[in-house]
Amino acid sequence: MNTKKTRVITREYERKMSEISPFELKNILIELADESARKSTHIMLNAGRGNPNWISTVPREAFFLLGQFALEECKRSTEFSEEMVGLAGVPDKKRIASRFIQFLNKHTDFSGMPLLRDTYNYMVMQKGVDENDLVFEWAEGVIGSQYPVPDRILKYTEILVEDYLKQELCDNRFKGRFDLFATEGGTAAMCYIFDSLQQNLLLNKGDKIVLFAPVFTPYIEIPEQARYLFDVTEIHACKMTHDGYHTWQYLEKDLDILKDQSVKAAFIVNPSNPPSYGLTPALMNRIVEIVRHDNPNLMIITDDVYATYIPDFCSIMAELPENTLCVYSFSKYFGATGWRLAVVALHEDNIYDRMIKEKSADQKEILNKRYSSLTLHPEEMRFIDRMVADSRQVALNHTAGLSLPQQTQMALFAAFSLLDKENAYKKKMQQIIHDRLHTLWENTGFTLLDDPLRAGYYSEIDMLVWAEKFYGNDFVEYLKANYEPVDVVFRLAKETSLVLLNGGGFDAPEWSIRCSLANLKRDDYVRIGKGIAEILHSYAARWQKETGRL
């Protein structure tokens, strides 16, 4: 017997729910949508999260084939006799590259073989690495038999991932060197950055920071926690066309707050999450100008996970490498959220190291004591290495680092894109997302402006814009007076079994809704688009009835 009580949705309840994280509100919406689906012929559709419904196959095929090679290498050990079932040694570096080539030649019909072969050739012939060192790192990595050494990131994984970031985030325009820290997904990267900035006295409680909004909710919520309590100013992507459509870009004049040298850091998700647009060249140039002329010590933290969905994307880390900490996750592009693969990138010449060296004698003493168990010269530790230590409370630095199998898969993801000279995978990914986006908007009946800077991984729909376009300002005022902004997502869940998130939770316009274009089939966005339109028009029908406008 089902004794579960039906949730009563009042305006007061909606008002309270609008104060919690949209990712927590999502769970309630799923319950409502599931209940709605049970009472109707609807299937619940959850477009609330950005977990993609695809995977990149070739790098995974290469990973599993590499695992087979590594197991064969482990079984070569003579220390363990055959009767010891299920036990083997560890890979042996001596002439391992020769055996690897032999292995590939025996497996020419296996799907992952070409990527392993081409990655090997890329590293040995173009990057000039030692072939035995390379294959040994791969064999140990895929088996996971050792601690990560170096703990920050494996030597050859770093080469591949750095080349990948320069290609995908810097459009191959940047020639300097970035140091990388491999982390357990972008979420861990965010936590480590906030923590180490504070631990190294680069950001202190009460310091001024700027958030570019709308923004992924942790960037809103973390600064409010008691250990940080930063003084936060938000710059909003409020720019609109002359006829009242969102461009989801920032006003150049609003960037002037960055001139204030008391503003210590700026946090940017680029392309944005939501609404999934990259910064314009004009905005990028304005930020560069401000940093160079007005606030040279401004720390910029940019989260560029959706970069691959914009052709010829260029990150702010390519324009201001000395100032920028970049977070990049492999999860969205390769369908790998469960792998937890990300990196933090920092240029070898950066303001973070310099500002630590410029601390007062008393501050340096505090910092030297924190890291003194790791080195006789803690003052020489670079900021990115301090992040690694901080990620394990310093005392566990000797066991820091992302697991070796994860790093090996990351390296193969990077290699796959580096060797895809025709950009076939990227073009297909962009096509899938954009097809779903256009399907969604065509079925709302709303207007979607062409924009080359739109990634399209999410779509942000401001219901008040369309309320005004279809029914005028009186209807807009009616909505605001009679409903809470989150009523839209509650009604979508309860009446149509659709789960979308409230844009207000991302500090987007309160009446906006966020739809992921990643995790459902194209045809599902027909129903979502129609469901959104139906909710708007049902509000209008009630307004017309109540005001006698029918």
Q: What is the pLDDT of residues 192-210, one digit of tens each?
A: 999 999 999 999 999 999 9
- Residue 52 has what pLDDT? 95
Q: Is the pLDDT of residue 81 over 90?
A: no
340-160-189 Cα angle (round to 5): 35
Q: How confident is the model at residue 322 (pLDDT cuts 50, 70, 90)?
A: very high
- Residue 15 has what pLDDT? 83
DSSP structural state of residue 309: G
Structure tokens, 499: 């789960």
Q: What is the pLDDT of residues 53-75, one digit of tens each?
A: 999 999 999 999 999 999 999 99
Farthest-apart Cα atoms in the chain, separation: 90
Residues 96-117 have a mean pLDDT of 97
358 contacts 338 by C-beta, under 8 angstroms: no
Percent of the chain with pLDDT over 70: 97
Q: How confident is the model at residue 415 (pLDDT cuts 50, 70, 90)?
A: very high
- Residue 42 has what pLDDT? 62
- Among 518, 369, 532, smallest CA distance to 435 is for 518
Mean residue pLDDT of the chain comes to 94
Single-letter amino acid code for the residue at 48:
G
- Residue 496 has what pLDDT? 87
Query: How many CB atoms neighbour CB 86 within 10 A?
Result: 5
Q: How confident is the model at residue 3 (pLDDT cuts 50, 70, 90)?
A: very low
- Among 486, 510, 484, 483, smallest CA distance to 500 is for 486
Q: Is the pLDDT of residue 18 over 90?
A: no
Query: How many CB atoms neighbour CB 104 within 10 A?
Result: 18
What is the three-class DSSP state of 486? coil
Peptide bond into 150 cis (omega under 30): yes
505 contacts 48 by C-beta, under 8 angstroms: no
Q: Is the pLDDT of residue 476 over 80?
A: yes
Q: Is the pLDDT of residue 439 over 90?
A: yes
Q: Say how far apart CA 421 and CA 444 lie, in whole Å.
A: 37
Q: Say how far apart CA 118 and CA 120 lie, in whole Å.
A: 5
Q: Is the pLDDT of residue 25 over 70?
A: yes
Query: How many CB atoms neighbour CB 199 within 10 A?
Result: 18
Q: Is the pLDDT of residue 1 over 50?
A: no
Residues 319-329 have a mean pLDDT of 97
Structure tokens, 547: 């005001």
Single-letter amino acid code for the residue at 155:
K
Structure tokens, 183: 């982390």
465-467-473 Cα angle (round to 5): 90
Q: Say how far apart CA 228 and CA 493 lie, in whole Å.
A: 35
Q: Say how far apart CA 50 and CA 186 lie, in whole Å.
A: 13
Helix (H) or strand (E) holding 300: strand 299-303
363 contacts 352 by C-beta, under 8 angstroms: no
Residues 439-459 have a mean pLDDT of 96
Question: Which distant-in-sequence residues (6+ apart) come within 8 Å of 336 by Cβ?
Answer: 55, 56, 330, 409, 413
Q: How confident is the model at residue 4 (pLDDT cuts 50, 70, 90)?
A: low
Residues 456-468 have a mean pLDDT of 97
pTM of full prediction above 0.85: yes
Q: Is the pLDDT of residue 124 over 50?
A: yes
Phi then psi dihedrals of residue 445, to 5 deg: 85, 5
Q: How confident is the model at residue 240 (pLDDT cuts 50, 70, 90)?
A: very high
- Among 338, 334, 306, smallest CA distance to 454 is for 306
- Residue 78 has what pLDDT? 77
Q: Where are the beta strands (DSSP E) in 185-229?
A: 208-213
Q: Which residue has the higher pLDDT, 41 or 222?
A: 222
